[in-house]
Amino acid sequence: MSAPAPVSTDTATFAVEVHGINPIPAEERWARPRDVFGLIFGGANSISTAVLGTFAVVFGLTFWDGVIAIVLGVLLGSLILAPMVLFGPRNGTNNAVSSSAHFGAHGRLIGSLLALLGAFTFLALAVWASGDAMLASVARLVGFEVNGALSAGVYVLMALLLIVICVYGYKLLVVLNRIVPPLVAMLFVVGIVIYAMQRDFGEALAYDVAGRWSDPLYIGGFIGTMLIAMSCPISYGPFLGDYSRYVADSGNRRSLLAAVILAQLACLGAFLFGHVTASVIAVSNPELIMSGDYVGGLVASTTVWFFIPLALISVAGGVTTGTSLLYGTGLDFSSIVVVMNRVASTVLIGGITVAFVLIGKFVFDMVQSVTTLSTLLVVCTVPWIAIMLIGYLTRRGWYDVDSLLVFSRRQVGGKYWFQHGWNVNAVASWLIGAVLAVSFVNLPGQFVGPLGNTVGGIDVSLLVALTIPALLFWILLRVNPDPDYVFGPEGARGVPVRAGELEPVISNPRA
């Protein structure tokens, strides 16, 4: 047996990454589970995550009920998310491209669409929340008035910084996320202590709701808080392959799964910072919380000496969150618009994001709407994740990597061509599951789907998103089996197969 090829780790931190979505060669798989941990931790450890932690207060939960809902949401979301990290090491590419194996060469665009919408949504939240908190903190400290022009300037500068970092690519992101997230996490803990020492926090702890668990609206608020907390980890489903594709396929899978779960749990500091501070603001400035001006209330209720730490949290956390999202989206966009490389795609997506942030903030006032969109994205992403994981199990984790790249190479045919590039089983299961799940969403004061009140006002959208598409996909795999050639040498696990004739890979005549 020949010795394994040595792994190269000498990529310069400030060298522009040369790889796009083509599989990373085995000799260049230098990343470790700790690097994946850092990227996920940094990506979710910011003021925008703290904003998600405020919804327990907005929904009227008691303090400890809010803590329970947040912890359960993050934990459940992490458990659902974690297996999605396995596709990167196995195929050396991102998860949207890997989804070709289950959704088809064209059906993989569903994953790309979810990634694109998720990136714009959470990237906009990161820029808005971080930019506003930083500017408001500095304004209070120095003594000047914040206006629209200053806010727009900060948003643009932050977005430009994100673009520059993402152009350099993976190695710089890994180094950045080894240093910044622990610092931000420490500042979040300091902030929690400072706000918990305020007199208003005692009043927040004493807040109670008589007969709350017999009130469907209260139960709906609890589940809504869980859903919003879950939106953070689950939003990374389409992106995990971006971070793990540099990890060797021979690595310890348990360590990789643990890295994902621990990284999300480490972000509970940001969630609880949002929850504690919002609880204090709800006592001292309730109109700010209910109007959605969390950042304004945050700055108004803090001590003077915490302005600088708050500004550091805003900038540093916003950078790590924003880069993790922009990097993945630029990478995936280059696999769709194949005439653009990763760098060009990153710059283009970054420019679109700047426009989205400015128009959404100053023209349409979409800040509150985007937080609602984050929840809707969760219930559309969960069915996609469920189908991917069932596919991984039934295929025994075996993939033909070359066939995954048919779309990006402007070709047709291959193992994952199915019905004209679409796997009807997976696409139909996702579409039906996503539509039904959105229909059952019930977020008080935010969004109520057509079926949102059918279960006593309780939001069961997540249960629907998990069970319906998984069950439907499993049934369809039995009624309309996948062809035998998509399975590896060990065959299928738990599902029948059919004899199929493999279409040869040829250049797309319409390309």
pLDDT higher than 70, residue 1: no
Element (H, E) at 486: none
Integer-rounded Cα radius of gyration of the chain? 23
In angstroms, the Cα distances linking 271 to 48, 101, 192 are 9, 35, 10
284: nearest Cα among 198, 184, 387, 179: 198
Label residue 417 by pLDDT band (50, 70, 90).
very high
Label residue 401 by pLDDT band (50, 70, 90).
very high
470: nearest Cα among 383, 396, 381, 380: 383
User: DSSP 3-state assignment of 247?
Assistant: strand
495: nearest Cα among 479, 511, 471, 472: 479
Amino acid at 446: Q
Helices (H), 59-108: 63-81, 87-91, 95-98, 100-103
> Residue 509: what pLDDT?
63
What average pLDDT does this structure show over 254-273?
95
pLDDT higher than 90, residue 482: yes
Label residue 33 by pLDDT band (50, 70, 90).
very high
What average pLDDT does this structure show over 131-149?
77
Amino acid at 21: I
> Residue 5: what pLDDT?
45
pLDDT digits (tens, 9 = 90+) for 290-327: 766 777 777 777 777 777 888 888 888 888 888 888 88
Label residue 3 by pLDDT band (50, 70, 90).
very low
- The CB-side HSE value for 311 (13 A sphere, CA atoms) comes to 16
> Residue 367: what pLDDT?
59
CA 40 – CA 176 distance, rounded (Å): 12
pTM of the predicted structure, to 2 decimals:
0.86
Task: List 247's β-bridge partners, or say none.
Answer: 31
> Residue 307: what pLDDT?
78
Tokens (6 digits) for 366: 């979409």
Structural domains of the chain ordered from first start:
28-366 (1.10.4160.10)
CA 205 – CA 207 distance, rounded (Å): 6
Helices (H), 197-305: 199-206, 216-234, 240-244, 253-266, 268-284, 286-290, 294-301
Label residue 68 by pLDDT band (50, 70, 90).
very high
pLDDT higher than 90, residue 411: no
Tokens (6 digits) for 290: 């209910």
* Longest distance between any two alpha carbons in the chain, whole Å: 74
Place of tokens 């919002």: 278
CA 193 – CA 310 distance, rounded (Å): 13
What average pLDDT does this structure show over 492-496?
94
Tokens (6 digits) for 157: 């500068």
> Residue 489: what pLDDT?
92
